[in-house]
Chain A
Amino acid sequence: MLFDDPVFGSRMLTMLTLSFHIIFATIGVGVPLMIMIAQWIGIKRNDPHYLLMARRWAKGFVVTVAVGVVTGTAIGLQLSLLWPRFMELAGHVIALPLFMEVFAFFFEAIFLGIYLYTWDRFENPKKHLLLLVPVAIGAAMSAFFITTVNAFMNMPEGFEIVNGQLTSVNPLMAMFNLATWTKVTHVVATAFMTSAFILASIAAFHLLRGSKQTYHKKGLHLTMKVGLVFAIASALIGDFSGKYLAEHQPEKLAAAEWHFETETEAPLIYMGILDDDQNVRYALEIPYALSILAFNNPSAEVIGLNEFPEEEQPPLFIHYFFDIMITIGSLMIFLGLIYVIGTRYNWNWIRQKWFRFCILLGGPLSMIAIESGWWLAEFGRQPWILRGFMTVDQAATQSDHVGLMFVLFAILYLILGIGVVVVLTRMFKQNPVENDLASLQGGEGR
């Protein structure tokens, strides 16, 4: 059977569920904000295009939320099923944000349900818009609470272990640990960024297909601007994350950067490969850059991976996840800037096919950056599940059936993934925006 070792099986199944869930979680956190902005502009400018945009985005959003709910429930239970020892320990210290997350999601689900089924039930459209406020807040709070748990796994605080006994538990300190701020803000900002760029991809797709609707141009313009703002924010926060790692989790940064010897004026290694003797080849080396990234100081000393015992070193392939993440992040800032400046000065070529094709790629690329970021974060914490206290080996279930469950869930996610794509394509193909616009112009109510 697949995965004879339950520990490895548990890690793979958790990775599978999280990698699939994060797509829908990211959309779930980011898209409500986008819908809210579009609907707000629509009401303010009395422009039916933006109202229609909000409505069509919401329609597609529901499908992704459903999959997000299902996979979110799966990961919630799998934490206990695959990591029983960890949840037993963590339950004592970090149960509070998990519990609050449920409330936040509860709130979000309630108002989302109301929002979706009440498009035409309010006389005053502003009241309907107001329903989105708890949805967007609930979504962002969910992300906040759940990310504090991940931060806690990296930086366990708020408890002491004396003679094997857990004492002095402080749930708030556990929640607001040192890793929380950079992690939470990075997760939320990248979710906004990625959602905006995915919606931009859709608009670019329609424009590439030759649609002349101003509807899509307005959509592209709005999403690219919002995407750019949050791409810049993500990069700035990402820089703080690097500084956090350098100071508090140096082994993760060192593994991600292939930085083996502690040294000052450390260079940044970009891409490349490692040979058997840990020599870096074919890499782009940027002098001083790692010291700057780590401490804002070109001559600062950066701790190397060789300072840590071998069994506590994270796997070295996380280097590529780091590079993919920052490469895509930088490209997206660049793309957004060109678009915004180009529109401002009315450059013709930003309306060319090839440029719109780049925008089309931006959405999927941003999602790849999200996945890379999480793989970096999770593999980079190995061998720990709770850094310094419990390893994945100690935490995992002993069940013999993990491999079989992996196969079942893999099939499930495959079907769900295909289902989402098929349903969304059919939904919007059968009801193209031209139809909605025509009924708008016909004056036949919305």
Chain B
Amino acid sequence: MSYEILGMAVLWTFLFGYVMIASIDFGAGFFNAYSKLTGKEHILTKVIQRYLSPVWEITNVFLVFFFVGIVGFFPSTAYYYGSVLLVPVSIALILLAIRGSYYAFETYGPTGHNGYAFMYGVSGLLFPASLSVVFAISEGGFIEITDSGPILDYWSLFTSPLTWSIVVLAVVAVLYISAVFLTWYADKAGDTNATNLMRKYALIWAVPLIVTAGGIIYELRWHNPDHLELIIDLWWMFAISFIFFIGSVYFLIKKKNYGWSVTLLFGQFAFAFYAYGISKYPYLLYPHLTVNDGFTNDTMAISLITVFILGFVMLVPSLYLVFRLFLFDKRYIQGDK
């Protein structure tokens, strides 16, 4: 395997990890705000305090890992994406700050404030929305290369149906992933009310999820037919993803084996996410930048990969410890500790 592909695979894996665990985080915040507004308060607040607060900084590192890693492995991305993403990413940073400060100010601080909880919930949906725009940009057609550098055409970006399909998918995926996970977590905590509520949300968002995902493939037909062809070549990966989705929903409907629902959920998104990633190869930014053009020198690549392996060896046991203490410790989840 060439260094380019190895580097990209590592980064894509971290991005996948971030998408999954951050979605749980974002969705929980939204459901929490929603239930506060509709008076079903405190069902989720406890879950957020006991599961999300200890790990949000860890979640955030996955994102940092991705963008530091991509500049390390593919320095040209800093030039292309850095020049055009100033506004969307700055907005994302401000939304991230709202979320980070919520954890600091509300859960460690003394009292809760409804307005803040509401902002926290909404920012959890706007944040993935603003970042998912990057995926639309990477499909090409929105960037013009001029003498003074790449320039983003905001008008065509925000009038493109493709952009909006991707944004909607990001938001719906957040709500769905989060609801499925929290159904399982609440069930483990023995909180029947919360379980039923989250199960209901999960089933509500299952259909829009599949509809928007299909919609994007349809949009690509007009926007980037080359990419669509590559996606069709990988039809079997998307098919497996869909089967996992059906299985996950089945267990939710049958109200049993929520653990399997979550496992299949991860499988579903893993297959779809990697299939999408593979289908984009070799482009980092269609059609201007490929993984081969943008790649760093071999010395740096080898050092980065070495550090990555060493770091990974240190991280896995530590992450395992976190999971054991906060996610799989029955007494902690149930609030006895």
Seen from chain A, the residues whose Cβ lies within 8 Å of a Cβ on chain B are: 59, 62-63, 65-67, 69-74, 76-77, 80-85, 87-93, 95-96, 98-103, 105-107, 109-114, 116-118, 120-121, 134, 166, 169-172, 397-399, 401-402, 405, 408-409, 412, 416, 419-420, 423, 426-427, 430
B213 within 8 A of partner (CB) = no
Report whether A84 and B83 are in contact in the complex, using a CB–CB cutoff of 8 Å. Answer: yes
Report whether B57 and A113 are in contact in the complex, using a CB–CB cutoff of 8 Å. Answer: yes
Report whether B65 and A110 are in contact in the complex, using a CB–CB cutoff of 8 Å. Answer: no
Report whether A95 and B311 are in contact in the complex, using a CB–CB cutoff of 8 Å. Answer: no
Report whether B96 and A73 are in contact in the complex, using a CB–CB cutoff of 8 Å. Answer: yes
Shortest Cβ distance from B50 into A: residue: A117
Report whether A117 and B67 are in contact in the complex, using a CB–CB cutoff of 8 Å. Answer: no
Binary contact readout B61-89 vs A (1 if CB under 8 angstroms, 0 otherwise)? 10111011101111110111111011101
* Of B180-188, B280-288, B293-301, the one with at least 4 CB within 8 A of chain A: B293-301
Roughly how many angstroms separate A72 CA and B55 CA in the complex, as a whole number? Answer: 17
Chain B residues closer than 8 Å to A100, beta-carbon distance = 307, 311
Chain A residues closer than 8 Å to B79, beta-carbon distance = 84-85, 87-88
Q: Which chain B residues (145-179) contact chain A, with CB distance < 8 Å?
A: 148-149
Given contacts A106-B58, A423-B104, contact A99 B82 (CB under 8 A): no
Roughly how many angstroms separate A15 CA and B3 CA in the complex, as a whole number? Answer: 36
Shortest Cβ distance from B60 into A: residue: A69
Roughly how many angstroms separate A73 CA and B83 CA in the complex, as a whole number? Answer: 18
Nearest-Cβ distance from residue A16 to partner chain B, whole angstroms: 12
Report whether A70 and B68 are in contact in the complex, using a CB–CB cutoff of 8 Å. Answer: no
Q: Which of these, B54, B65, B76, B96, contacts A70 with CB under 8 Å?
A: B96
B90 within 8 A of partner (CB) = yes
Nearest-Cβ distance from residue A227 to partner chain B, whole angstroms: 26
Given contacts A169-B297, A402-B86, contact A67 B75 (CB under 8 A): no
B97 within 8 A of partner (CB) = yes
Given contacts A63-B104, A117-B326, A408-B94, contact A107 B72 (CB under 8 A): no
Shortest Cβ distance from A69 into B: residue: B57
Report whether A91 and B100 are in contact in the complex, using a CB–CB cutoff of 8 Å. Answer: no
Report whether A99 and B72 are in contact in the complex, using a CB–CB cutoff of 8 Å. Answer: yes
Q: Which of these, B76, B82, B300, B318, contacts A95 with CB under 8 Å?
A: B300
Q: List 11 A-B contacts (CB under 8 A).
A: A59-B108, A76-B67, A77-B93, A98-B71, A99-B68, A113-B54, A117-B53, A120-B337, A409-B93, A423-B104, A423-B108
Shortest Cβ distance from B94 into A: residue: A412
Given contacts A80-B82, A419-B101, contact A91 B75 (CB under 8 A): yes
B325 within 8 A of partner (CB) = yes
B328 within 8 A of partner (CB) = no
Report whether B82 and A105 are in contact in the complex, using a CB–CB cutoff of 8 Å. Answer: no
Determine which residue in A59, A96, A120 has the highest number of CB atoms from chain B within 10 A of its CB, and name it: A96
Report whether A84 and B311 are in contact in the complex, using a CB–CB cutoff of 8 Å. Answer: no
B110 within 8 A of partner (CB) = yes
Report whether B78 and A84 are in contact in the complex, using a CB–CB cutoff of 8 Å. Answer: yes
Chain B residues closer than 8 Å to A416, beta-carbon distance = 97, 101
Report whether A93 and B67 are in contact in the complex, using a CB–CB cutoff of 8 Å. Answer: no
Roughly how many angstroms separate A114 CA and B319 CA in the complex, as a whole number? Answer: 10
Chain A residues closer than 8 Å to B71, beta-carbon distance = 80, 87, 91, 95, 98
Report whether B87 and A426 are in contact in the complex, using a CB–CB cutoff of 8 Å. Answer: no
Binary contact readout B287-316 vs A (1 if CB under 8 angstroms, 0 otherwise)? 000000000110110011001100100110
Report whether B57 and A399 are in contact in the complex, using a CB–CB cutoff of 8 Å. Answer: no
Report whether B58 and A113 are in contact in the complex, using a CB–CB cutoff of 8 Å. Answer: yes
Roughly how many angstroms separate A365 CA and B19 CA in the complex, as a whole number? Answer: 42
Chain A residues closer than 8 Å to B104, beta-carbon distance = 62-63, 65-67, 419-420, 423
Chain A residues closer than 8 Å to B326, beta-carbon distance = 113, 117
Q: Which of these, A63, A103, A118, A402, contacts B311 with CB under 8 Å?
A: A103
Shortest Cβ distance from A65 into B: residue: B57
Report whether B300 and A113 are in contact in the complex, using a CB–CB cutoff of 8 Å. Answer: no
Chain B residues closer than 8 Å to A72, beta-carbon distance = 64
Chain B residues closer than 8 Å to A117, beta-carbon distance = 53-54, 325-326
Report whether A427 and B109 are in contact in the complex, using a CB–CB cutoff of 8 Å. Answer: yes
Shortest Cβ distance from A96 into B: residue: B303
Chain B residues closer than 8 Å to A166, beta-carbon distance = 297
Nearest-Cβ distance from residue B219 to partner chain A, whole angstroms: 28
Shortest Cβ distance from A100 into B: residue: B307
B103 within 8 A of partner (CB) = yes
Nearest-Cβ distance from residue B113 to partner chain A, whole angstroms: 11
Roughly how many angstroms separate A166 CA and B76 CA in the complex, as a whole number? Answer: 13
Chain B residues closer than 8 Å to A399, beta-carbon distance = 83, 86-87
Report whether B314 and A95 are in contact in the complex, using a CB–CB cutoff of 8 Å. Answer: no
Chain B residues closer than 8 Å to A120, beta-carbon distance = 337
Q: Which of these, A99, A102, A412, contacts B97 with CB under 8 Å?
A: A412
B321 within 8 A of partner (CB) = yes
B105 within 8 A of partner (CB) = yes
Given contacts A73-B64, A110-B318, contact A118 B78 (CB under 8 A): no
Given contacts A69-B60, A107-B318, contact A95 B297 (CB under 8 A): no
B322 within 8 A of partner (CB) = yes
Given contacts A96-B303, A103-B315, A106-B65, contact A81 B82 (CB under 8 A): yes
Determine which residue in A84, A107, A170 has the highest number of CB atoms from chain B within 10 A of its CB, and name it: A84
Report whether A81 and B85 are in contact in the complex, using a CB–CB cutoff of 8 Å. Answer: yes
Chain B residues closer than 8 Å to A76, beta-carbon distance = 64, 67-68
Q: Which of these, A81, A109, A423, A430, contacts B90 with CB under 8 Å?
A: A81
Shortest Cβ distance from A99 into B: residue: B72
Chain A residues closer than 8 Å to B97, beta-carbon distance = 70-71, 74, 412, 416
Report whether A98 and B54 are in contact in the complex, using a CB–CB cutoff of 8 Å. Answer: no
Given contacts A66-B103, A77-B93, contact A87 B82 (CB under 8 A): yes
Chain B residues closer than 8 Å to A171, beta-carbon distance = 299-300, 303
Report whether A397 and B304 are in contact in the complex, using a CB–CB cutoff of 8 Å. Answer: no
Chain B residues closer than 8 Å to A69, beta-carbon distance = 57, 60, 100
Roughly how many angstroms separate A366 CA and B97 CA in the complex, as a whole number? Answer: 27
Chain B residues closer than 8 Å to A109, beta-carbon distance = 57-58, 60-61
